[in-house]
Structure 1
Amino acid sequence: MDKDRLDAFLRQIRLEERAINPEIQNRMSGSMIHFAEDLRLHGQTSRLIRLSTHGRFQPTPPHSHDYIEVMYLYDGSVTHHWDNGQATLTKGDFFFIPPGMPHWTDTCGAGDIAVNLILSTGLFDGGMAAARWLGEWYAECRKGNGQPLLLHTGMSAARDTVCRMMQEAFDPDGFSGEVVEQLFPVLLLDIRRGSDGLREMKERNVLYGVVRYIESRYRTVTLAETAAHFGYTPGYLSARMKRELGQSFSEFRQSFCMAQAALLLRESELPVTEVASQSGFTNMTHFYRLFDRAFHQTPADYRASAQRSAKHQGLDKM
């Protein structure tokens, strides 16, 4: 699924939306609904992250859930309400909703396109490293002090990353869940870099510059080079990244490079050696070992499976 197909997919009117009675009453007057994490994550390829489109043409009733919900505004606008406030999201905004907090939305029109990221609390139980700022927000939520978090990112790198996650989630193959999980830490860092709401944090934290340095040189960058550039010892820099970002230098770079490799295998005919090279790997044995660890399959088998999946999906749509 390329960007044009993703855009068409998100804008199409779905059967369940066509079936909505225009005379339907506002359901916000009904009883509050609570969604359990197991219900919403059951059967998904990723056990930690799920993406779904937000329904339009009627308001959502008051509800809460055990998981963290993140709404991304792809286009248009939508207004969220909770007991002591409201917020209107516009294109490029991310809205983080704490577990257990009752909330509801106004009616979305055809051009108001939102995607929900359902995050399992297992992200914070050793299932996946998460950025420090999100971990601190979640810790406050667990203490009962959590508030919704609205972050404005506009047309930043975060949009490209979340769209890549959508391409995987809405046109999946057997490896899409793992690719989504590989991209999630990158998304958190892109949000941190592009968000007005976190600008003060970025200015205080020199690691913002470190992350930008790594991402712009990911094919050849080394820990020693990066540490020297910022005036740190390699050991201190990697330990600080692990503490504040949830990933060491090598873990962050490998996650980013693996996501690049998976994308090239699916969307190009480049030889595996060239895919590895363009993704920042010079040692093929090391590349194969890391790829197998991430996707439990060789690059060639991954590409073949992705091509078969794309072919079958194409036949289904004929």
Structure 2
Amino acid sequence: MVQTLYHKDILQNRAQIHLTRATLTPQRPKALHTHDFFELFWVQNGQVRHHLPDRTDTLDEGTVCFLQPGQHHALQGRGEHALVVSLCIHPDTIANLGKRHPDLQGHLFWSDAKIALHQRDIRQLATLNHAAVLLERSTCTALHAEAFLLPLCADLTSDIQPKDAPAWLAQACQTAKDPAVFREGSAGLVAITGKAHPHVSRSMRKYYGQTPSDFINNLRMTYAARVLITDSDPISEIARNVGIPNMSHFHKLFRNAYGLTPLQYRHKYQHELVQPQG
């Protein structure tokens, strides 16, 4: 018989979210369970076996799992130090977020699938854990629930990769957002894949609809645009920092991306917003 967990038994005193930390035993679960709330959990340490009606997945440290109500599942530790952090979230909180933020539709809790998985690296996992500590110290009202969920959801939905892209390529494209990588151009992207340039190029065209150079240059121009309006670095220095010391080439790429020269862009979106001259 499948056990059902109910949010009314877990969320007390106006709480809209409840956080639990647990070390999982290595014994295989006797049965699956389900729940009427949204569940978010991540593997804090070790590995976890995630039992589902049709399969069992192995989740590594840093895996974040979004589960919708009604999903049957069970967790099992793999080894002696499997630790998970689990959140029970009131359905109203998720419904309200979805209504106010259309960009969430189709992703995470709001996807057509009952389960959504994402991977966090060491730095991202540290950020997630810091947010969890702040949540633990709160009264877990709707305000605190959203303060925890919104930054995570915004971060994850900004990193959505093509569904069919191979894991090695999706991970490389994510890592390429680091200036240390895109500064090296398309060669930097290819290097972190560990694969041959022609294979990476074909895969990028197939799954992302662009060449490695186009992908990297988009990252470079996005970064440059952000620095132009948040700092006062000389434009020549910004160009060098994104790996394009040739100023003519940098200006051409930037104008193609934003329709303005870097100086015009800085003036419009930095100086004119803070100190308009009329």
- TM-score, normalized by length of structure 1? 0.46
Mapping 1:285-304, distance limit 5 Å: none
SS in 2 for 1:87: strand
**Partner of residue 258, structure 2:** 231
User: Could you say if the C-alpha distance between residues 140 and 162 of structure 1 is closer, same or farther in structure 2, counting changes exceeding 3 Å?
Assistant: closer
**Partner of residue 167, structure 1:** 133
**Partner of residue 150, structure 1:** 117
**Partner of residue 40, structure 2:** 70
Bigger mean CA deviation after superposition, 90-99 or 124-133: 124-133
**Partner of residue 278, structure 1:** none
**Partner of residue 182, structure 1:** 147
Conserved 8 A contact 1:73-1:91: yes
Which of 132, 141, 166 lines up with 2:103 in the alignment? Answer: 132
User: Could you say if the C-alpha distance between residues 44 and 164 of structure 1 is closer, same or farther in structure 2, counting changes exceeding 3 Å?
Assistant: farther
SS in 1 for 2:121: coil
**Partner of residue 8, structure 2:** 38
Q: How many residues align?
A: 189
Compute the displacement of 1:62 (Å).
1.3
Compute the displacement of 1:112 (Å).
1.0
Mapping 1:1-318, distance limit 5 Å: 31-43=1-13, 45=15, 47=16, 49-57=17-25, 58-60=27-29, 61-107=31-77, 109-126=79-96, 129=100, 132-133=103-104, 135-136=106-107, 138-141=109-112, 146-157=113-124, 159-170=125-136, 172-173=137-138, 178-192=143-157, 199=170, 231=258
Deviations 1:75-111 (A, max 9, x none): 1010111111221111111112221011112245542
1:133 and 1:92 mapped to 2: Cα distance? 22
User: Could you say if the C-alpha distance between residues 33 and 182 of structure 1 is closer, same or farther in structure 2, counting changes exceeding 3 Å?
Assistant: same
SS in 1 for 2:8: helix
**Partner of residue 311, structure 1:** none
- TM-score, normalized by length of structure 2? 0.52
2:86 and 2:129 mapped to 1: Cα distance? 12
Deviations 1:230-251 (A, max 9, x none): 639xxxxxxxxxxxxxxxxxxx
User: Could you say if the C-alpha distance between residues 174 and 231 of structure 1 is closer, same or farther in structure 2, counting changes exceeding 3 Å?
Assistant: same
SS in 2 for 1:43: coil
2:127 and 2:256 mapped to 1: Cα distance? 27
Deviations 1:214-265 (A, max 9, x none): xx87x969xxxxxx99639xxxxxxxxxxxxxxxxxxxxxxxxxxxxxxxxx
1:160 and 1:130 mapped to 2: Cα distance? 26
Conserved 8 A contact 2:24-2:84: no
Compute the displacement of 1:42 (Å).
2.3
Compute the displacement of 1:37 (Å).
2.2
1:73 partner amino acid: V
Compute the displacement of 1:152 (Å).
1.8
Compute the displacement of 1:40 (Å).
2.2
- Percent identity (aligned): 16
1:97 and 1:91 mapped to 2: Cα distance? 18
2:149 partner amino acid: F
User: Could you say if the C-alpha distance between residues 73 and 196 of structure 1 is closer, same or farther in structure 2, counting changes exceeding 3 Å?
Assistant: farther
SS in 1 for 2:122: coil
1:168 and 1:193 mapped to 2: Cα distance? 23
SS in 2 for 1:76: strand
Which structure has the larger Rg over C-alpha atoms? 2
2:2 partner amino acid: M
SS in 2 for 1:72: strand
1:168 partner amino acid: L
Conserved 8 A contact 2:23-2:82: no
SS in 2 for 1:187: helix
Unaligned runs of 5+ in 1: 1-30, 222-227, 233-281, 283-318
Compute the displacement of 1:192 (Å).
4.0
2:131 and 2:142 mapped to 1: Cα distance? 9
Supply the RMSD in Å over aligned alpha carbons: 4.5
1:85 partner amino acid: R
Conserved 8 A contact 2:93-2:142: no
1:191 partner amino acid: L
